[in-house]
Amino acid sequence: MGDSENVRIDKFLWAVRLFKTRSMAAEACKKGRVQISGMNVKSSRTVKPGDTIDIKTPPITRTYKVLAVAEKRMGAKLVPDFIKDITPEDQLEILEMTRLAYQQGRRKGLGRPTKKDRRDIERLFNEE
């Protein structure tokens, strides 16, 4: 299934579409946001099947299990053959709570009026 046995972690993360570019994956490794089996890794570290990869993306840490290695970028439909998302439920709940908090919208009186606010204001003044 995999292309080879020795693949750099930055190349692998890019290949399985966890990062948009390889340089973004390398930068995440450099900043200590990528861990293999609980240890921070450099972008040159090789990855092998069975490794557990943790990627810190605030506010949560996502966890993936490597099923097979790949060197070349693949289509999104092929990704489940190479990695499995094993992120704990508590992390996913934090993500959902954060999403809901931002969905509440802005508080009244902050910033510019929205399009809907503008239309309501115009409708109020045009009634006179």
**Cα gap 73→18, rounded to integer Å:** 11
**Cα gap 3→124, rounded to integer Å:** 65
Give the percent of the chain with pLDDT over 70: 89
Which has the closest alpha carbon to 64: 25, 22, 96? Answer: 25
Q: pLDDT at residue 2 above 70?
A: no
The architecture CATH gives domain 7-126: Roll (3.10)
User: Which residue is it, tokens 């099947």?
Assistant: 49
Predicted structure pTM score: 0.76
**Cα gap 89→93, rounded to integer Å:** 6
**Cα gap 90→74, rounded to integer Å:** 30
3-state SS class at 97: helix
User: Which residue is it, tokens 């993500």?
Assistant: 95
pLDDT in tens, 68-127: 999 999 999 999 999 999 999 999 998 888 887 766 665 666 777 788 888 888 887 776
How do beta strands 52-57 and 34-36 pair? antiparallel
For the chain, give every domain's residue range: 7-126
